Structure 1
Amino acid sequence: MTPNEENEIIERVLNGDRDAYAFLVDAYQSAIFNLVFRMTGSYQDADDLAQETFFRAYRNLGQFCPGKRFFTWLYTIALNLIRNHLKKQGRRMFRESQDFIKHRDGVVSETARRDPERIERNGIQTQKIDHLQICLQKLPADLREAVILRFYQDLSFVEIAAVSDASVSAVKMRVYRGIEKLKQLMGEDKM
């Protein structure tokens, strides 16, 4: 969605067309859910925090500055909710990785019924993805956030800086340190 489209929809909502907000939710729902899931490791938390993100954005839409990107503002709301949630919860070590593995196992078992050879071919890849998810949850929150925004959400360094309220150079350093730490964790936690 272009910034002009976002601003048109926001203007419609602010002028009383509440149903227009659904277009913004549809456009960013998946990205926000994925961000929250990658940061928390929990489908339940991802559902709750994604919903809260859109609720708060809607409630505070009058404070949105036209000319800015809505998705940047929305990501900022989501990241603040995630940070507060993680502080309240303490740093949970991917207990929720079981959510990820259960979901993946459901997909895998369905695929196995249709194509057993495919499971054999993809088994090692699946283990590596699971291992990466677990190691990702072991990163400090600021590094995890930077890595997720860069590689899972595909944001530029400038966009990450905007949503993280950090300089571009600080973001680049966090991404670099996150990758290095992730490599270290992946090596230490051999499958």
Structure 2
Amino acid sequence: MDHDQEKEIVASVLKGDRQAYALLVEAYKAPVFNLAYRMTGSLPEAEDLAQETFIRAYENLWRWRPDRSFFIWLYTISLNGIRNHLKKKRGSETRGADWAEEIERESAEARAADQPEGILLEDEKQRRLQVCLLRLPADLREAVVLRFYDDRSFEEIARICGISLSSAKMRVYRGLEKLKGMME
């Protein structure tokens, strides 16, 4: 969806057309959900967080500035909600460790299943990567997810996370270095 379409839809919603908001939800539900899933490792939590993001955005739509990207604004709302959720869960590292253990257990079960070896190895790599991703500190995980799972530029990462461009680059770099170390 281009920026002009976003502006038209938001203007319609602000004038009372609640149905128009469904167009924004439809356009952005997948990336918002994917961000929440990559950050939490839990489908139910990701679904709840995505829904909360769209509710929060709807309630605060009047605050969106038409000279800014709606998607970046929405992603910032989503990321802030995820951060708050992870803090309430007694820290993201604890949740990540619990989830990582569950993925490792599932991975061992998959190895025992009767699957072709090539598929099993690729699946194993993906599971290990997800385990390692969940073990990263939240700020590094955010940057890596935004860069490599959502294909965001460093400038977009900086705006979404509310940090400088150099900090965004550094977080991605540090996240990758930690992931490499964990994967070895």
Aligned to 1:50: 50
Q: 1:165, CA displacement in angstroms?
A: 0.6
Q: 1:96, CA displacement in angstroms?
A: 3.7
Q: Aligned equivalents of 2:22 and 2:73: distance in 1?
A: 17
2:131 corresponds to which of 131, 134, 141? 134
Name structure 2 gaps, 5 residues minimum.
Answer: none
User: How many corresponding residue pairs?
Assistant: 176
Superposed, 1:89-104 pairs within 5 Å as: 89-90=89-90, 91=92, 92-96=95-99, 98=102
Q: 1:95, CA displacement in angstroms?
A: 3.1
Change (3 A) 1:27 1:141: same
Q: Aligned equivalents of 2:158 and 2:83: distance in 1?
A: 16
Change (3 A) 1:101 1:165: farther
- Residues 103, 127 of structure 2: 8 Å contact kept: no
State TM-score, norm by structure 1. Answer: 0.86
Q: Aligned equivalents of 1:94 and 1:142: distance in 2?
A: 16
Q: Aligned equivalents of 1:78 and 1:101: distance in 2?
A: 30
Change (3 A) 1:73 1:129: same
Q: Which amino acid is 2:126 matched to?
A: I
Superposed, 1:1-191 pairs within 5 Å as: 1-90=1-90, 91=92, 92-96=95-99, 98=102, 119-187=116-184
Aligned-pair Cα RMSD in Å: 2.1
1:19-71: CA deviations, max 9, x gaps? 01011101110000000000011111101000000000001101111111111
Q: 1:12, CA displacement in angstroms?
A: 0.7
Deviating runs (4+, > 6 A) in structure 1?
99-102
Name structure 1 gaps, 5 residues minimum.
Answer: none
Q: 1:72, CA displacement in angstroms?
A: 0.4
Paired-residue identity, %: 53
Q: Aligned equivalents of 2:120 and 2:54: distance in 1?
A: 37
